[in-house]
Amino acid sequence: MKSARNSLPRFPDRHDAAWLALPRPRSLSHPSLSHCLRTMSPVRKIVPNKTAFFVCDIQERFRLVIHAYPAVIATAEKMLKAAKLMDVPVIATEQNPKAAPPRPNPHAPKTALVALGATVPLPLLDLPSHLRPSWVPLAKTKFSMIVPQVEQQLKEWETKSVVLMGIESHVCVLQTALDLLERDIDVHVLADGISSCNGDEVGIAIKRMRDAGAQITTSESILFQIMQDAAHPGFKAMAGLVKEHKEMTKDALEKLIAGRGF
């Protein structure tokens, strides 16, 4: 009488023809699998010479409605000055800055778009042309910053890491982060550089971005990660910038991060 064990089908040996005929898993280079493996990695360090700063929709119209907006603006100002010191390229966008054009057909439906105004005064124009494309700041209607023009620029720069700041954390910032992660670009979100109209949205958005694989950090931390070494030729100037913005940085940390538990 056959034992129950002997009646079980034999799993093919790896040298058998049956084994060789088994379907193989997709290559590890497959985008979705590559993304999963990347987000599981415990260490995702910034790549200094392949990094870009993203300034998302820091516009005048939001000045009176965004939680702790002056702190967001101060962080962006510091990061743009640092970009010039460390030769980091910058992309900045504006969400629907101008009113919609007149309707050629009076019977056409009215647009729901509202003009949100230009970018607040930031040292964008102080950046040399190789760090700021001529079309920056770029007007957009899409919530994410990843529009065709930006995507092409990222390819030309061979960008591996993006430092993200701006508003609103749960809309444009979140969607930008997710789109970048989907393209296998590491995202470093400045907790002292993002906000929303409703301050309670920020913590939820940060958790969503972190769960997707983004790194949550601060402006000062990321600047020294990019610099890496006190022997860096720009260290003295960077130390001076950090000192210059010391009180503004402290204020941003207190208003945007304190008590959020991250």
Hey, where are the domains in the chain? 46-99+109-256
Omega before 168 cis (within 30°)? Answer: yes
In angstroms, the Cα distances linking 13 to 7, 23, 35, 252 are 17, 15, 32, 62
pLDDT band at 203 (very low <50, low <70, confident <90, very high): very high
For the chain, the 3-state helix, strand and coil shares in percent, each to the nearest 5, are 40, 15, 45
Distant-in-sequence, close-in-space partners of 11: CB < 8 Å, separation ≥ 6: none
Report pTM.
0.78
Contact 220, 80 (CB under 8 A): no
- Per-residue pLDDT, averaged over 213-224, amounts to 96
The CATH class for the domain spanning 46-99+109-256 reads alpha beta
pLDDT for the residue 259: 64
Q: Is 14 helix (H, G, I), strand (E, B) or coil?
A: coil
pLDDT for the residue 177: 98
State yes or no: pLDDT of 8 exceeds 50: yes
Task: Provide the greatest CA pair distance for the chain.
Answer: 90
Burial degree of 193 (CB within 10 A; 0-12, 13-18, 19+): buried
Mean pLDDT for all residues in the chain: 83
Q: How far apart are CA 239 and CA 164, in angstroms?
A: 22
Burial degree of 37 (CB within 10 A; 0-12, 13-18, 19+): exposed
Q: Is 248 helix (H, G, I), strand (E, B) or coil?
A: helix
State yes or no: pLDDT of 118 exceeds 60: yes
pLDDT for the residue 123: 79
- Per-residue pLDDT, averaged over 147-159, amounts to 97
DSSP 8-state assignment for residue 240: H
Distant-in-sequence, close-in-space partners of 196: CB < 8 Å, separation ≥ 6: 66, 67, 167, 168, 169, 170, 171, 202, 205
CA 155 to chain centre: 15
Q: List, by residue number, the catalytic residues.
A: 57, 140, 172
Question: Which two tokens mark 164?
Answer: 């993200």
State yes or no: pLDDT of 86 exceeds 90: yes
pLDDT band at 130 (very low <50, low <70, confident <90, very high): very high
Percent above pLDDT 90 for the chain? 61
